[in-house]
Amino acid sequence: MMEIALSGLETVGRMVRGQIIGLGRFTLLIREILFWLVRPPVRIQLIFKQFEFVGNKSLSIVTLSSLFTGAVLGLQIGKIFGIFRAEGLMGAATGKALALELAPVMCGFIVTGRAGAAMAAEIATMRVNEQLDAMEAMGVSPVSYLIVPRVVASTLMMPLLSAIFLTLGLIGCYILGVIMFRIDTSVFVSQLKWLVWVSDIRKGLAKALVFGFILSTIACFKGYHARGGAKGVGEATTQAVVSSLLTILIVDFFISLVQIRG
Amino acid sequence: MLKPSAQGVSKDSSLPIVVFNNVRKSFGNQQVLRGLSFELKRGEISFIIGRSGEGKSVTIKHIIGVLHPDSGDISVDGVQLSHAPETEWIKARRQMGLLFQDGALFDSMSVGENIAFPLIEFEKLSPAELTTRVESLLDLVGLPGYGNARVPDLSIGERKRVGLARALALNPSLLLYDEPTTGMDPLISELIDTLILEMQKKIRGLSSVVISHDIQSVMQLADRIFFLHEGRMYASGTPAEFRASADPVVQQFITGSMEGPLGQPIS
């Protein structure tokens, strides 16, 4: 009995130790990212390449998903509001939800799945094939060369993608509202203006900025510390996606809490 | 006379290029380096030999600072680096070139871009100068016209030669080779051996450190041999001293005998 308890304690202790080590490494990586962020060389070309990878290549999936998210949200809200004869408010309610929560969170999910996973896999492959070691051996910091451009591009691209998501989501909602609920355009727009404030959009974009930083640092961290061949690359990619998605949701709650109290 | 493992080596007046003093390194519960001490002389070709898994690659990664010791001191070119900040290591690494086991080429880049990588990072060259340097390095390793080739299309031998060209790009004063001839046909092995010797002759004061299992290359090229065994420097000396050694462990290793204190490879 005592042995089982001790073994259980040992397992818990090992898990806690592992988590603390992981957190320490993550903190060190963030410190190094911040160090290289303000220190030459500024790798403009690599940053623009990542803008293209994170932003441009995510655009089609953001377009499609935002139109349908806006439409389905409008459909559900319109249906419920219809009970109270308040279908006119569907655009405003959808806009509020999109601006404050759905646009940044959904964009975070999309960019994590598309770009974050690719970042983790690419860096992990470079780690297991000793390419990162080779870079370090040449006196080039992989954090400066590989990670900083990805983090900068993701952090700056996320608000832009989020703004596009919001706009197209509203368009999706508007199209559905006009076709299914026969809502008048002027009612849709006036209610939207009444309920969705500039500060809501600003709050949503701030969240997107934070999510961009989170998803890219987690993806790069998991890739950077990958070990052990193809299996290690797969594990790093999976962990990067799962950890990013969970962290985005948790951080979203706390940012919302601060924003509501503020 | 073959020297036994030297513990607690101190810096002497001949200014060795690399000094390891009681270096220890573990990965999890596995102790790889268990108080490793040695000095590599400047301007020599030093071979580090030992059985697989004895920590030869780990040693070379410590020299270049990709791995850091759990304890002990490492000096490169007279600079104490084991506890130095990363910026110091980055400076030190510019004087070193490392050829990895399989080349460790960036597979997202072409062969030319791989070789140009350190030059773009550290030397301000015009595009024309860059092209000329890359072409001359490709010529040097026997791969003329390979600049636009894709890395995944290269054979292992070609990868190693491109890796060597990249390692030589910045004219390093310390050149490290991690098993340069492993997995190569005899002709390519001979070419790499010749290249190691040529580099040593061409670059005045160049120090080379080679990790190898190829005893023929070791005996042919080495100025000094360092035999790593059980995480420590078991013995060091010239090829002649190794040949003359009566130590059964050394003899079994250099003759590749199945019988002896090292046991059979599988056991």
Model pLDDT for residues B85-133, shown as the tens digit of each residue: 877 888 888 888 888 878 899 999 999 999 999 999 988 889 999 999 9
Q: Which domain holds residue A35?
A: 1-39
Q: What is the C-alpha separation between A156 and A164, in angstroms, rounded?
A: 13
Position A232 scores a pLDDT of 92
| % of chain A beyond a pLDDT of 70 | 100
Q: What is the C-alpha separation between A56 and B17, in angstroms, rounded?
A: 50
Average pLDDT over residues B45-55: 89
Position B215 scores a pLDDT of 87
Average pLDDT over residues B243-250: 88
Position B202 scores a pLDDT of 75
Position B264 scores a pLDDT of 57
B106/A138 Cβ within 8 A: no
**Whole-Å CA distances, B224 to A198, B207, B248:** 73, 11, 19
Task: Tell me if A54 sits within 8 A of A111, measured CB to CB.
Answer: yes
Position B8 scores a pLDDT of 37
Q: Are residues A2 and A56 in the same domain?
A: no
Sheet with B18-27, strands from edge to edge, namely B30-40, B18-27, B71-76, B79-80
Kindly tell me if the per-residue pLDDT of A212 is higher than 50. yes
CB-based contacts of A82, cutoff 8 Å, min separation 6: A181
A198 CB near a chain B CB, below 8 Å?
no
Q: Are residues A157 and A83 in the same domain?
A: yes
Kindly tell me if the per-residue pLDDT of B204 is higher than 80. no
| % of chain B beyond a pLDDT of 90 | 35
**Among the partner residues B64, B91, B105, nearest to A137 by beta-carbon distance:** B64
Q: Are residues A35 and A49 in the same domain?
A: no
Position A3 scores a pLDDT of 83
| % of chain B beyond a pLDDT of 70 | 93
Q: Are residues A67 and A32 in the same domain?
A: no
Kindly tell me if the per-residue pLDDT of B12 is higher than 80. no
Q: Are residues A118 and A22 in the same domain?
A: no
Q: Are residues A134 and A152 in the same domain?
A: yes
Task: Tell me if B245 sits within 8 A of B253, measured CB to CB.
Answer: no
**Among the partner residues B91, B94, B104, nearest to A134 by beta-carbon distance:** B104
Domains of chain B listed by start with CATH number? 14-95+173-184+209-258 (3.40.50.300)
Task: Tell me if B149 sits within 8 A of B110, measured CB to CB.
Answer: yes
Query: How many angstroms away from the CA of B106 is the closest CA of chain A?
Result: 6
| Band of pLDDT at residue A255, cut at 50, 70 and 90 | very high
Q: Are residues A203 and A236 in the same domain?
A: yes
Q: Are residues A55 and A28 in the same domain?
A: no
pLDDT 10s digits, A27-45: 999 999 999 998 888 899 9
Q: Are residues A24 and A73 in the same domain?
A: no
Position B239 scores a pLDDT of 92
Chosen from B59, B98, B119, B175 to mutate, greatest number of chain A CBs within 10 A: B98
Comparing CA positions, the residue from B225, B174, B175 lying closest to residue B49 is B225
Comparing A203 with B265, which gets the higher pLDDT?
Answer: A203
Query: CA torsion sign, B139 to B145 to B147 to B151?
Result: negative
Q: Are residues A154 and A257 in the same domain?
A: yes
| Band of pLDDT at residue B2, cut at 50, 70 and 90 | low
A139 CB near a chain B CB, below 8 Å?
yes
A18 CB near a chain B CB, below 8 Å?
no
Whether omega for the bond prior to residue A41 falls within 30 degrees of 0, making it cis, is: yes
Q: How many domains does chain A have?
A: 2
Q: Are residues A35 and A47 in the same domain?
A: no
Whole-number average pLDDT of chain B: 85
First to last CA, chain B: 31
Structure tokens given for B108? 């997202």
Q: Are residues A34 and A70 in the same domain?
A: no
B107 CB near a chain A CB, below 8 Å?
yes
CB-based contacts of B124, cutoff 8 Å, min separation 6: none
pLDDT 10s digits, A72-94: 999 999 999 888 888 888 889 99
Chosen from B86, B102, B119 to mutate, greatest number of chain A CBs within 10 A: B86
